[in-house]
Amino acid sequence: MTLADAVFGLLGVVCLASAVLVVTSRNVIHAALWLVVCFGALAGCYLVLTAEFVAWVQVLIYIGAIVVLMLFGAMLTRAPTGQQQELDSRNRPIAALTGLAAGGTLCVLVVSAFRGAYVDVHHVAVGDGKVIGTAVFRYFVLPFELASVLLLAALVGAIVLSRRPTDRRDPTP
Amino acid sequence: MHLSIALAVSALLFGVGVYGLLARSNAVAVLMAVELMLNAANLDLVAFDAWWRDTMHAGQVFALFVVVVAAAEVGVGLAIVLAVFRLCETAAIDEVRALADRDPVLSSAAEAEA
Amino acid sequence: MSHYAWLMPALPFAAALVGLLVSRHLPGGPAVPAVGGTALALVVALAVLVDVERAPSVVHQTARSWTPIGGVQLAVGTRMDGLAAVTAVMVAVVALLVQVYSTAYMAGDPRYSTYAAEVSLFTSAMLVVVVASDLFELLIGWEVMGLCSYLLIGHYWQTEGARAAAVKAFVTTRVGDTGFLFGIFVLGVGAGSFEIGRVVGHPSAMGHTAVTAAALLLLAGVVGKSAQFPLHVWLPDAMAGPTPISALIHAATMVAAGVYVVARLYPVYLAAPTALTVLGVIACITMLGAALAALVEDDLKRVLAWSTVSQLAYMSAGLAVGGWTAGVYHLLTHAAFKALLFLAAGSVVRSLGTNLMSEMGGLRHRLPTTFVTALVGGAALAGIPPFGGAFSKDGVLEAARERGGALGTAVFVVGLVTVLVTAAYVTRLVLRTFFGAYRGSLDGVSAEAHESPSVMTVPLVVLATASVLLGAPVLPHSYGVARWLDAPLGTRPLHLSVAGGVVTAALAVLGAAAVVVLHRRRPADDPAAVLGRVAVPLANAFYVDAVYDRILVRPVHAIANALRVVDGRGIDSVVTGVGAGTSAFGAVLRRAQNGNVQAYASGLVIVVLAIVVSVSLAVAQ
């Protein structure tokens, strides 16, 4: 049990606990905030695994953009900030079973497969900006460009989808 | 450190995400659960990247691309949620059942309703 | 000329075809082929008769071999002996007179062309039965006659009564025909050939059981076709058909075919005395029962129908006691006077529009020719000399008396009683129809009831003349009917005794007088009313129809209904149930498509998990 193990373990517990709170919270806004905690813990996990760039990207994009976007969405769909609305559907028992089965199966599988695997955090290549940048622009240029096209398409699509119907019926003079 | 801890956390996080996907009635909450699942996959990718000691860092790069795709998906997904909300005036997706296959006599009435 | 005997059935058959196909385009209409074909057949029949009587004991036979089915050897041809030649002439004469009569009787009928063609077809079939040289050929004619009878009884198919009567006639005779068919099988197999000549050649060579079985089975068909007890129930109802049909089919020809077949195959019956005894018993029962039923009938035609049944029993009785010549002689005289009576009834019915005697009366001045000819026919029926019916009936009774024994005495006694009853019902018929005051609803009989046209009255006169003349050739040994007929060996020749004739004539007069007295006392009432409560079972024909209804008709209907229900609910429901079941199954499956995305996602995840687990377990092995 090294220091890395302990730290990772603690961060993992935080992550899981906050994830459980995300999916069981009665208030959507609270759920979004617990999601922030979860993403933060995950960023910490990445740091322990020496993936610095990914960790900061996680914080920037996930916490900074995606959770904010979700908050916007929750507000726009009039989700009350109080605790009145029932957020859980009648599917709960099956969902619990399924979730348990999924999580349990995967856990047992991977743990039994990689029981003795060991990551030497002192001798691994650190994933800092320079290394990742080199990798992306040297070996993964094409996916990078495709990703940017994808973002453009998503941008256009989101705008088109969220336009009000009355806008389209403007007669051009 | 032991790889299996990271993998275990990732697997359990995925399970929690599945529960949220299937149990939550608010559309935005479902999207949050999807984000949890994507993050579980990301954690797996990064853990394996560290284990392989990959100089190309394919795992981390792929994790970055997953983040990009997740962002795009959330954007479009929330636009769809908004559109459904404007049509049905509710964000509870378990009440939006217009695509159900009803008995032939009733289906036309259901279509008139929805 | 006997070689051309096949023309006799062929000509009316051709006339039927022509009538059905092109009669609309012929000048003169459907009557031309009908009357013409029958007239030509009569000419041929007369020529054949002359030819046959030149050498009476020789049988002229032609045959052509025909094997429609591989194993059975059949021959098609004609076999003309005295019996066949005389009967053929009788059939042709009556058929011709009926066709002529029908041109006026059925003048306004829209389906006259079909009617005329069916009568021609019937004539052809009857002549096939008469001239056939092979048992199967006879059977073909027999069955076609049954078909024509069905079609013609049901001529007025728009009425319920005609439809029911046609079906009843067909089904009842069919029951008998089954036995007839098997009788033919036994005879043919036993004799080694189906040719009539071979069959009657050495019947005793077949063995006693085979001959008796065959004779009894054939009797089933005879009983059905000739309307004897217990298959007599169809004949009174068959009066729903047009009256000329009743005259032709149900008096002179088809019903006589049964008796004719017994006469034709008589050597077989001589070799099977049991069958003759059975025939005699049946004849006795029928003779008296039918006569009693005729006594209380109100419908003019039904009286004549019961009378036919009774007189056919006389013929059968004659054959049963060995009086072959007497029985056949009675067949011929009966053809004449019964056809006459039916045609006269038709004349009355057509003038008044009703069949019921309670609506008739006092018609002798309005319908003079009909009256006189009906009187002649009635006298012949009652057995008053010198009309033909008297001598033939006496011949039968003499043969019965000569035979003696239980059967002979029974036939003799029953026959005498029936003479009394016959005279009674004949007198009742004549008195109620032609005498007394008019009881009907046509106001002023003078306005509506008039004599029928000469096309109808001339046949009446012809038949009346025949009834008288047939009484003439009574001397057995010189010229006469016995000489013409050429009786088989072992039968009793036609004997008549003065004493017997006096007795029967006296009984007839007695019966007639009793009815006249009752009529005189109360001219407006039915003389049969004096019978009081006894009349009830007679009017219901001894409830035979009711018994059949209870034991046969109702169970069959019940079974048919049950089968219909089983078919509808059981079998059809399997077919429709397949469709309904599939729809129901689909509805059950459809409940999985409830529109809830999370339900779909749950299913997806669970199945994927299952695949993952199973694959990993397989890999782990």
Query: pLDDT digits over B54-78, tens only?
Result: 888 999 999 999 999 999 999 999 9
Q: Could you give phi then psi for residue C512, rounded to 5 degrees?
A: -65, -45
**How high is the pLDDT of residue A137?**
93
Q: Does domain A1-80 have CATH number 3.90.550.10?
A: no
Token pair in block for residue A14: 């935080």
**Given the structure tokens 């009894």, which residue do they identify?**
C216
Least Cα distance to B1 among A132, A103, A114, A128 occurs for A114
Interface with chain C: mutation pick from A87, A98, A100, highest number of C CBs within 10 Å: A98
pLDDT computed for residue C65 by the predictor: 76
Chain pair A-C, CB pairs under 8 angstroms: 22
Chains with 3 or more CB pairs closer than 8 angstroms to B? A, C
Domain extents for chain C?
Answer: 1-133, 134-539, 547-620
* Spatial distance between the Cα atoms of C464 and C257, rounded to a whole number of angstroms: 23
How far apart are the C-alpha atoms of C118 and C146, rounded to whole Å?
Answer: 12
- Measured CA to CA, the distance from residue B42 to residue A114 in angstroms comes to 18
Kindly list the residues from chain C whose CB atom is less than 8 angstroms away from the CB atom of residue B94: 596-598
Cβ atoms of C248 and C38 closer than 8 Å: no
Answer whether C42's CB lies under 8 Å from C139's CB: no
Beta carbons of C190 and C227 less than 8 angstroms apart: no
Burial class (CB in 10 A: 0-12, 13-18, 19+), C614: exposed
Residue C56, preceding peptide bond in cis (omega within 30° of 0): no
Q: Given this model, what pLDDT does residue A100 score?
A: 93
Beta-carbon separation of C598 and A98 below 8 A:
no
pLDDT at site C352? 82
- Are C609 and A89 inside 8 Å of each other by CB? no
What would the pLDDT profile of C591-614 be if each residue is shown by its tens digit?
Answer: 888 888 888 888 899 999 999 889
Q: How far is C604 from chain B (nearest CA, A)?
A: 11
| Higher pLDDT among residues C346 and B105, named by residue | C346
**Cβ atoms of C104 and C455 closer than 8 Å:** yes
- Specify the residue for token string 């609270």: A30
Q: What is the pTM of this model?
A: 0.71
Residue written as token pair 């079906």: C167
Q: Which of C593, C597, C601 sits opposite B101 (nearest CB)?
A: C593
Give C596's contacts in chain B (Cβ within 8 Å): 93-94, 97, 100
Nearest Cα to Cα of residue C374 among C455, C434, C294: C434
Q: Is the pLDDT of residue A83 over 60?
A: no
* pLDDT value of position B107: 47
Q: Do A89 and C598 touch (CB under 8 A)?
A: yes
Q: What is the pLDDT of residues C239-249, one digit of tens each?
A: 988 999 989 88
| B18 vs C: CB within 8 A | yes
C323: Cβ–Cβ under 8 A, 6 or more apart, which residues?
A: C395, C396, C398, C399, C400, C403, C491, C492, C494
CB pair distance less than 8 Å for B15 and A61:
no
Tokens of C84: 């066949």
**Alpha-carbon distance A102 to nearest alpha carbon in chain C (angstroms):** 6
The upper half-sphere exposure of residue C521, i.e. CA atoms within 13 Å in the direction of its Cβ, equals 10
pLDDT digits (tens, 9 = 90+) for C483-497: 677 777 777 777 777
Q: Residue A171: which pLDDT band, with cuts at 50, 70 and 90?
A: low
Residue C455, CA distances (Å) to A11, C102, C104 in order: 127, 9, 6
Residue numbers of B between 55 and 74 with CB closer than 8 Å to A: 55-58, 60-61, 63-65, 67-74
The phi and psi torsions of C63 (rounded to 5 degrees) equal -155, 145
State the average pLDDT over residues B90-104.
77
Q: What's the pLDDT at C472?
A: 66
If one compares C433 and A170, the residue with the highest pLDDT of the two is C433
Q: What angle do CA C554, C303, C408 make, to 5 degrees?
A: 90
Interface touch B82/A106, C-beta < 8 Å: no
- What radius of gyration, in Å, describes the C-alpha atoms of chain C? 31
Confidence (pLDDT) at C423: 92
State the pLDDT confidence band at A26, using cuts at 50, 70 and 90.
confident
- Residue of chain C whose Cα is closest to the Cα of B25: C598
**Chain B residues near residue C597 by CB distance under 8 angstroms:** 93-94, 96
Residue C606's identity, in one-letter code, is I
Give the DSSP H/E element, type plus range, for residue C74.
strand C74-80
**pLDDT of res. B30:** 92
Say what the pLDDT of residue B11 is.
Answer: 96
pLDDT score for C367: 84
How wide is the angle at C-alpha A64 spanned by C-alphas A58 and A66, nearest 5°?
85
**What domains are there in chain B, each with its CATH number?**
3-113 (1.10.287.3510)
- pLDDT, position C574: 86
Q: What is the reported pLDDT for C478?
A: 41
Asked if pLDDT for residue B80 goes beyond 70, the answer is yes
Whether residues B97 and C596 touch (CB distance < 8 A) is answered with yes
A residues 101-140 closer than 8 Å to B (CB) = 101-104, 106-107, 109-111, 114-115, 117-121, 123-125, 127, 131-132, 135-136, 139-140
Q: For position A86, what pLDDT does the model report?
A: 59
Q: Which residue of A has its CA nearest to B14?
A: A103
* Cα nearest neighbour of C616 on chain A: A109
Report the b/e string of C218-228 with b at 16+ CB within 10 A: bbbbbbbbbbb
Chain B, residues 82-111, CB within 8 A of chain A, namely 82-83, 85-86, 91-92, 94
Alpha helices in A25-140 (DSSP H): 28-48, 52-57, 67-76, 92-113, 129-139
Q: Which two tokens stand for residue C145?
A: 């006659």
Give me the residues of chain C with pLDDT under 70, please.
1-2, 56-58, 441-449, 472-483
Instruction: Write the CB contacts of A53 (distance below 8 Å, at least 6 apart in sequence).
Output: A127, A128, A129, A131, A132, B60, B64
Chain B CA closest to residue C605: B18
Which chains, if any, share at least 3 CB pairs under 8 A with chain C? A, B
